[in-house]
Amino acid sequence: MHKISLATLFSGIGAPEFAAREVFGEAKTILACEINKFARQSYLANHEAPLAFYEDVCDLDAKAYAGQIDILIGGSPCQDFSIAGHRAGEDGERGNLIWQFYRVVSEACPSVFIYENVKGFLSINGGKSYQRFMDTLRGWVITATPKF
């Protein structure tokens, strides 16, 4: 049986890896990417080390992984979209990382990708940021459904 190849961006402690093991039994993590030192330490304490572990998504040359990733999962930082934050949106220091997710999808060409973020992403900037992001992804998206 084919072992699912997984890549995660904004990997945190590796929740997508836990979920992949639950769903598929086994998955090979091709790459993970997490900038927070403590989250990286927790990730490595709880998971087999991925084939590559990047700190900064901006440094990731995803073209090197084209055709190797079955599932790419990521959720860029939510602080700039959250109703609990300052709502800087995609112009914020972290909010602009939604475009890094798109860049990696377009370079790595995974079979499937999953992007998640907070409900506030739908309404920031009158919904324009969400719509622009979705319009940009249209060529890649088979089904896009906000779930909250």
Domain residue ranges in the chain: 4-137
The 10s digit of each residue's pLDDT in 10-25 is 999 999 999 998 998 8
Catalytic residue among 33, 58, 78, 109: 78
Supply 63's token pair.
Answer: 């073209």
Supply 134's token pair.
Answer: 């979705």
Which residue has tokens 């084939």? 51
How far is Cα 105 from Cα 2, in angstroms, rounded to an integer? Answer: 22
Catalytic site residue 78?
yes
The pLDDT assigned to 147 comes to 57
What are the contacts of 31-35 at 24+ separation with CB within 8 A? 31/7, 31/60, 31/65, 31/69, 32/7, 32/8, 33/8, 33/9, 33/57, 33/60, 34/10
pLDDT classification of 142: cutoffs 50, 70, 90: low
Domain 4-137: give its CATH architecture. Answer: 3-Layer(aba) Sandwich (3.40)
The 10s digit of each residue's pLDDT in 70-118 is 999 998 877 767 677 777 667 777 778 888 988 999 999 999 999 887 7
Supply 67's token pair.
Answer: 């055709």
